[in-house]
A and B are shown apart, each in its own frame.
Chain A
Amino acid sequence: MPERMLQFVHLPQQMPEKRDVLRRRTDFDEIYRRFEPDEAARQASRCSQCGVPFCLIHCPLHNNIPDWLKLAAEGRLEDAYEISSATNNFPEICGRICPQDRLCEGHCVLETGHGAVTIGAVERFITDTAFERGWVKPIRPHRELGLSVGIVGAGPAGLAAAEELRRHGYAVDVYDRYDRVGGLLIYGIPNFKLEKEVVLRRWRLLEESGVRFHLNTTLGKDISLRALRQRHAAVLIATGVYKPRELGGPGVGLGGIVPALDYLVASNRKGLGDSVPAFENGLLNAAGKQVVVIGGGDTAMDCVRTAVRQGAASVKCLYRRDRANMPGSMREVKNAEEEGVEFVWLAAPEAFFGETSVHAVRAVRMRLGMPDASGRQSVHPEEGGHFVVPADLVIKALGFDPEPLPMLWNEPQLEVTRHGMLKINHRTFMTSLPGVFAAGDIVRGASLVVWAIRDGRDAAAQIHSYIQQNAQLAEAAD
């Protein structure tokens, strides 16, 4: 057989073409072009088809990457889609926004020396093609079970669980306080990484599959958890974490210092055509401003790149560790730098200057200490290493904490960890309340979309077996 795979020996890595940086700075369209079918097949054919596929092992979903790469290389896209979608509810989303350089591609055996297989881009290509060709079909359960499950939160964890449960034949009701489905997918992640149409078509598909969405519905206000528990055979909490971590220091209360999520939501809403007063009045619009983003995670990356596109005069990112120690994706840093963002490594803000509104940030130089037990290097301020950065918009992207759900929902029985995350049995995904499950960021803390999908799927499987067991017990009792 002519060997179709293992072409890395001859064929160099080729990412899908990035749009010209001058053009992409001016709009919110996705920066990567799609693979041409031939190129997708060629790049997929570089896969080494490992006996121990590290890509698969380091994928939270354990996607069968080598299998669909092989099928894609052979042009068997429908088969590839089938395999890809069997382990992942939203492969086209993961293909776009997963930090592949830290997951599958980062562990590809070709990464050192040959250039990893462009797994994410191929994944995206496969599923986009599947949508175009009509292979992605709404769920039509074999039989309706006559039972329902309530899901709180229409983000990736909730949606993945909804899809899985619907497949089994449950009626699924999803409750979300926002007006659109998708959670951070729709409002958190900027368009240039994930075009909103991609999320919207998933929404449509779920509705066509019979999932009922109850939007603009805030738990604890519009409806109580108790009511949901009565209404459904089981409830899944997948609300995510939304409470921004705060900065300290003098002047932190000044105007022009905004939480990252507020900033990103406003930008995304504008993109979706909504009217957003705080944007229109300039508060959350970076146009013409000297912008400083504080933080080194993916949210910070989203903010700086959004600011560039809004026409900021300058965009700086302050992070207290160095490039090697930042939590965000290297690839995103590179993209941001290309787009004109200036990274100020080893810098921590100390104070904010301004009258009512901020006009500068004083920062201190940091140095790295020895790695601790977790391997992460500690940081210490340099003596006398102060400097001032002018800024008239400061965006705080320091991460998120959970909201106090037991209090907000008036459910003191709902146990949380000392970090405020929901406490679950990690095997069953059940919280301290019987029949109430939890998954996603609200359990594990702010994390990746792909982990949310994984949790949603696992929780759904546990919910299914919980309900089936209950049904069997009920039957036995009869």
Chain B
Amino acid sequence: MREESALEFVSSWQRNTQALAETYDPAQEHDACGVGMIVALDGKPRRDVVQAGIDALKAVWHRGAVDADGKTGDGAGIHIEIPQDFFAEVVERGGDKLRSGPIGVGMVFLPKTDLSAQERCRQIVETEILAFGYAIYGWRQVPINVDCIGEKANATRPEIEQIMIWNARGTDEATFERDLYVIRRRIEKQALVAGIPELYLCSLSARSIIYKGMFLAEHLTEFYPDLLDPRFVSRFAIYHQRYSTNTFPTWRLAQPFRMLAHNGEINTLTGNINWMKSHETRLSSPLLDPYLEDIKPVVQTGGSDTAILDNVFELLVRAGRDAPMAKALMIPASIGQDATMPKAHRDMFLYCNAVMEPWDGPAAIVATDGRWVIAGLDRNGLRPMRYTITRQQMLIVGSETGMVKLDEQDIVEKGRVGPGQTIGVDLAKPQFYRDSELKDLLASRYDYGNWIKRVQVIDHIVKTDAQEPVRYEGEALRRRQAALGITLEDLELILHPMVEDANEPVGSMGDDTPVAVLSERYRGLHHYFRQAFSQVTNPPIDSLRETRVMSLKTRLGNLGNILDEDASQCDLLQLESPVLSTAEFDAMRAYMGSSACVVDCTFPVEEGEGGLRAALLRIQREAEEGVRAGCTHVILTDEEMSAERVAIPMILATGAVHTHLVRQSLRTFTSLNVRSAECLDVHYFAVLIGVGATTVNAYLTQEAIADRHRRGLFGQITLKEAVQRYKKAVDKGLLKIMSKMGIAVISSYRGGYNFEVIGLSRALVAEFFPGMPSRISGIGLSGIAKKVLALHRDAWQQDVIRLPVGGFYKLRRHGGEAHGFDAQLIHLLQTAVATDSYSMYRRYADAVRRGPPISLRDLLDFRTEGRKPISIDEVESITEIRKRLVAPGISLGALSPEAHETLSIAMNRIGARSDSGEGGEDPARYQPRPNGDNASSAIKQIASGRFGVTAEYLNNCREIEIKIAQGAKPGEGGQLPGIKVSELIARLRYAQPGITLISPPPHHDIYSIEDLAQLIYDLKQINPTATVCVKLVARSGIGTIAAGVAKAKADVILISGHSGGTGASPQSSIKYAGLPWEMGLSEAHQVLMLNRLRHRVRLRTDGGIKTGRDVVIAAMLGAEEFGIGTASLIAMGCIMVRQCHSNTCPVGVCTQDEKLRAKFTGTPEKVINLFSFIAEDVRSILASLGVRSLAEVIGRTDLLHQVSRGSEMLDDLDLNPLLVQADPGPYARYCTIEGRNEVPETLDAQMIADAAAFFERGEKMQLQYSIRNTHRAIGTKVSSKIVRRFGMKGLEPGQLTVRLRGSAGQSLGAFAVQGLKLEVIGDANDYVGKGLSGATIVVRLPPSSHLRSQENTIIGNTVLYGATSGYLFAAGQAGERFAVRNSGAIAVVEGCGCNGCEYMTGGTVVILGPVGDNFGAGFTGGMAFVYDPENLFEKRVNPATLLWQRIASPYWERVLRELIEQHVAETNSRYAAMLLHDFPLVLPHFWQVVPKEFVRYLPQPLTAPELQAELA
């Protein structure tokens, strides 16, 4: 195949992005990376600092991505001080006279080819500098070497020049610097006016300069030879290696930015941007006031999240805050998290929270304001940041340890930056500040304690003793409910459990009802909003186990000027939660008095459809007038609804007012408090808050609770308690919805529009919810008005009013919603597969087609005109087509073992693949059965819980699937309650029966795209032949994510639809998260083509695929493989009872109950019939289209057309965004790679070669190497070879010993097995012992080191994640999430960071030093010993599942002692030896920590019987 030239690529890119305007939004791009800084602690500019920065960049190449040309990187750069003498020489050589004062230098990207535009740019730059009164020395063409960059990078390369500026005004340095900021903003604006967006200033400063571009990090100095000049000296160097989700080289997006460089994502970005717009109106600072109009808009369009973060950071700094304070304001520590936080720090952060909404990410930033350089993490601490201080007064900070090669003897300190922490250097002093020192400094600047007293916490005011009022009973209540479409199902299935359990109800089997816009029924406006969630590029949070970082604290009132720094910023009301009961709302209302204005949100029924728009205009006007008249609180309510007045959907009213106030620059002057009758479930609350509401009172739902309470349905509890339980359920649900997109704080969620709209008209969205994606348009104001009026008429005109029974969750005939699988279809399909009758299948498939539209594809049909049908015999065979079909991942645990094996056997028989799902597989299945059947799943899944994931498991498959998200609950974890953990399940998952098993929401080794690349790398090491699939859930922006995943060397990307089945998931997640696969698939396909990645990766889709027609449509939308889940369950006997979560499946498909399993009637033949029928169906469609194979229709959207525009009520329903085609250039529209995308070899290749005797004859061997952080996954490929050759337990421990000197790269010893021993002398990065399967890993200091092991960090984050067996001894501290989800490994370390032993289910861990916060969250099995001489443990432990006590049994004392002895023997730790020496003295300071559920499995009681008597 011909390769495309770079110029062709660039022009094609531009055409494609235009064609995909509705699909591809550059704002969805993500990037992530490696980041760090070098600082001279002596405060002197040094060459070695610059050199170390350059070197470090060369050691993080693996955190970036490389284009196919091997040269075009995603960007790298360095930020250093301006070498004044270098530029002085440039000035003088240019014939200019050097004036006093520092030279300001601008690093400028100019348009390259358009010379007149280039000239215009120079003019703009010069004009603005001169206009400010400064003078210009001249321009310098920066020497560059284009040989080292890729063709694509070169094709998009700007002209790179420097402008040198003379401080003609003689201002002081700070003013000069600030003026240069204003000048830069003016230049940027002028460039936009002139229509030359290409003009970009990397930096414009008299202090520092940024060299960056689209080369590989290692080519930095090759491209910019300037940097090799020894005069380039600096007190700091901030460096960055970028990994972006697209392949288009955008030079300006390379980092560092003007002040900071960032690794991670800003999850709260949309909310932050929206609030910044609102904050802009009140910005004021004596330093900037004259220029504010030049500076605004602060957030510049076209920036990445980091660029935007940098914009605001820069503003704060220019307005007078220093870098540490700017970081504290924008990315504060969590107050709830740290139980040991000093009050002064707490007060300061409370102040920060009152000023602005946190910018939360997974974020590691390094930044400078010229005087300070800082490095910090956000509250979640999901990015690694290690630091080292050397004897040569150098501070080295970076994403990894070992990036700069150092002699161990020179190291004086090795540490890490923890969650919410910041370290910094004041270059002026010079002084290094550790986190607490820096916070002390900040906290001492003002009397924050006094300031925050002005925050009026009104919880005690609203928590009145007043009874919850009851206003509507009987018919009055029912009519109002009916007028809003409330059904009995809502009350019984959703509301009732919320009150009874204070939890959201759980459902199963996905969502098979129509997307709201296709429904015939009334669907509340919230049905059109799909919750956003994070996957791959940023992690969700566990809102249950990591509550300490989460907050619903709600501030009401007048938000001030964020640039101020005084007590008035704290004049606010504050509530614990935005959810208020009616009594609470009444109390709050009374407290607000005349500072609140009430706006009625109803309209007269006689005005008809037009009444809605008129009323919205009135509501906007009344709210605006209220605010202008000085009201600091606006109350929106629909309480006035009656027979004569219609309630406006409050989401619409709230959006209308919020948007209007933002547009009028009034939003920050007021709170927006909503009383809504329609609001009932958690999702409705989330939408209201997401579109701008400050507080919400679901008053009519509360009346429903009161009504049920009156009828005695809640037992003995009081009404107040019932209401509080409901409130608690909503609070928890809100935290969950925020956390699934990684947002921890509600103020950053509010008004963030963190939704995607399906089916609302574009015009309506643009007017009331601007900025939210609404790709296919849909119902508009008049349609909504019609529906609301019809509902109102039925509710108020009928004689007797009964609530409809519902049918949204479960099928009902009377007024219920349509469901994809109804009784007839189930019956037809089961009959067809049981009798091997294709004609019966045909009846089934025809019935599916005739049914009401459920999915978007139901509006599409094949374009047959002009196609010449061919005979079906000419089409590829059933056998060929079946190979493209997959039985998707359903875990053993959800499915009964019988059903699970039946699927595998059936798929193996037809040469197709089944997916094991999460939870391991019985090794007995790896051997074929006597009759030849193979029950081993061809695809093995690896999910966030890593249950049963061993080296053996990963070596028994053809494909490994990384499940990032699942259609029924993207962004959420799961929990298998103890009662469901049977003997078998426990065995496969390396747990004990009856013990609760938790799957965390994120993979703890994937917080970012480069982490995914690392996991793929690890998996391709542990199985050198398997392909790797990454399972994603459809959402907008999935195209860019897919591109990033493809760049991470995935072989298959699976796009799951929202409708996907599930064993158990919260109802609101099943119903309101994720998108149809039609949208996600077409976007992924198109954006992959745009990026020239499509031909390198296969696309698979699943979610409700029922027939051959679905398969062919999916192929035309871009998929080449197809998962068929629910239908295959139905073929095995599932009858959609939808009680999978109850373990009571009456047909034995989805249960572990032996009695019920006996009812299973599925057979491989039935499953094979289903897949054969679907393949035959595909063939006949292909024949009718005149096509011979499925491959020929992949991506052929031209063969589809929209045949229905939905209901007449809709403004429009436009599926064209799904059908546009990107031009793939010379490449195919499908994957042309044979085999897999190979990854580079690591040290293991050498090890395998060197260990020939070991592999050939099993001889005991010892190998020895020097290593760097670029050597990743050491020992993994060797382990694959061991497992395949000797099995999991075929070798004695340590039969192959490998000694390594230096810093080990990530994933040291991942999945390493028994027989292998890795000894590292030095340190190691993240993911040590990931999935450890029996090997021994030792990490220790070299004898020459001067460090005290227990005070220094020696291994990184997320160590022993998912380990099942083996040993780890590390003489030093571990990072965050040590031993997360460990289920069998034994480890000794000398301290650990936050969230230690999280989700652990087995194994033993000894921690000989302090632990971080939230220790043992979700820890349900295994044991930990913690040495705690300072008595901090009890403040840091998460007590939910744990027992802890002093060691009270000689047995356990011996266990502990022996482990420490082993640790000393392996690591020579002086510290541990000392503990052993003083053992009787230190023993009383140890805690023994055991999960409550696990106690009964201990071989010996915790407290010895003889001691028990003594204690009693």
Contact = CB atoms under 8 A, between A and B. Distances in A.
Interface string B1123-1163: 00000000000011111001010110000010110010000
B488 A52 contact: no
Given A52-B826, A57-B823, A64 B799 contact: no
Contact of B1156 (A9, A51, A53): A9
B1146 A110 contact: yes
Interface stretch (A79-87, A196-204, A341-349): A79-87
B813 A109 contact: no
6 contacts: A52-B826, A52-B1136, A53-B812, A57-B823, A114-B1146, A168-B799
Contacts of A57: 811, 813, 822-823
A64 B811 contact: no
B1481 interface: no
A169 interface: yes
B488 A50 contact: no
A52 B1144 contact: no
A142 B805 CA distance: 23
A8 interface: yes
Contacts of B799: 141-143, 167-169
Nearest to A86: B802
Given A50-B1136, A109-B1135, 9 more contacts: A9-B1153, A50-B1137, A51-B1138, A53-B812, A64-B812, A74-B713, A76-B713, A86-B814, A167-B800
B1318 to A, nearest CB: 49
B1476 to A, nearest CB: 51
Interface in B808-829: 809-814, 819, 821-823, 826
Nearest to B497: A1
A48 interface: yes
Contact of B1146 (A70, A83, A113): A113
B501 interface: yes
A66 interface: yes
A62 interface: yes
Contacts of B800: 142, 167
B710 to A, nearest CB: 13
B85 interface: no
Contacts, number: 97
A51 B1129 CA distance: 15
Sort A-B residue pairs by CB-CB distance and give the 3 closest, nearest first: A51-B1138, A142-B799, A62-B813
A70 B492 contact: yes
A76 B813 CA distance: 23
B652 interface: no
A52 B1135 contact: yes
B923 to A, nearest CB: 31
A62 B1144 CA distance: 25
Contacts of B1147: 109
Contacts of A9: 1144, 1153, 1155-1156
A109 B1146 contact: yes
Contact of B810 (A49, A74, A82): A49
Contact of A51 (B509, B711, B1159): B509
A415 interface: no
A6 B488 contact: no
A87 B814 contact: yes
A9 B1146 CA distance: 8
Contact of B501 (A1, A74, A114, A141): A1
Contacts of B811: 51-53, 56-57
B1431 to A, nearest CB: 40
Contacts of A141: 799
A54 interface: yes
B1137 A109 contact: yes
B1223 interface: no
Contacts of B1159: 112-113
A347 to B, nearest CB: 33
Interface of B: 488, 492, 497, 500-501, 509, 711, 713, 799-800, 802, 805, 809-814, 819, 821-823, 826, 1135-1139, 1142, 1144, 1146-1147, 1153, 1155-1156, 1159
Given A9-B1155, A70-B492, A83-B488, A51 B810 contact: yes
Contacts of B805: 64, 67, 83, 86
B1136 A8 contact: no
A3 interface: yes
A109 B497 CA distance: 25
Contacts of A48: 1137, 1139, 1144, 1146
Contacts of A76: 711, 713
A56 B812 contact: yes
| Range for the number of chain A residues in contact with chain B | 35 or more
Interface of A: 1, 3, 6, 8-9, 48-54, 56-58, 62, 64, 66-67, 70, 74, 76, 82-83, 86-87, 109-110, 112-114, 141-143, 167-169
Contacts of B821: 52
Contacts of A8: 1144, 1146
Contacts of B1155: 9
Nearest to B826: A52
Contact of B822 (A6, A52, A83, A114): A52
Contact of A66 (B810, B1142, B1153): B810
Nearest to A168: B799
Contacts of A169: 799
A3 B1139 CA distance: 11
B1146 A64 contact: no
A178 B1153 CA distance: 57
A107 B497 CA distance: 29
Residue among A6, A64, A66 with max Cβ neighbours from chain B (10 Å): A64
Contacts of A50: 810, 1135-1139
B803 to A, nearest CB: 10
Contacts of A51: 509, 809-811, 819, 1136-1139
Given A52-B819, A141-B799, A64 B810 contact: no
B1301 to A, nearest CB: 59
Contacts of B802: 82, 86
Residue among B488, B802, B813 with max Cβ neighbours from chain A (10 Å): B813
Nearest to B805: A64
A54 B1144 contact: no
A166 B1442 CA distance: 65
A143 B800 CA distance: 11
Contacts of A83: 488, 805
A82 B823 CA distance: 26
B157 to A, nearest CB: 58
Contacts of A143: 799
Contact of A6 (B713, B810, B819, B1142): B1142
B533 to A, nearest CB: 24
Contacts of B1142: 3, 6
A88 B1191 CA distance: 54
Contacts of A114: 1146
B725 to A, nearest CB: 12
Contacts of A66: 810
A2 to B, nearest CB: 9
A1 B1144 contact: no
A249 to B, nearest CB: 40
Contact of A54 (B492, B810, B1135): B1135
B1139 A52 contact: no
Contacts of B488: 67, 83
Residue among A52, A74, A87, A141 with max Cβ neighbours from chain B (10 Å): A52
A1 B1153 contact: no
A9 B799 CA distance: 42
A143 B813 CA distance: 29
Nearest to B509: A51
Contacts of B1138: 50-52
Nearest to A79: B711
Nearest to A52: B1136
A48 B814 CA distance: 20
A224 B500 CA distance: 61
A188 to B, nearest CB: 29
A87 B1156 CA distance: 33
Contacts of B1135: 50, 52, 54, 109
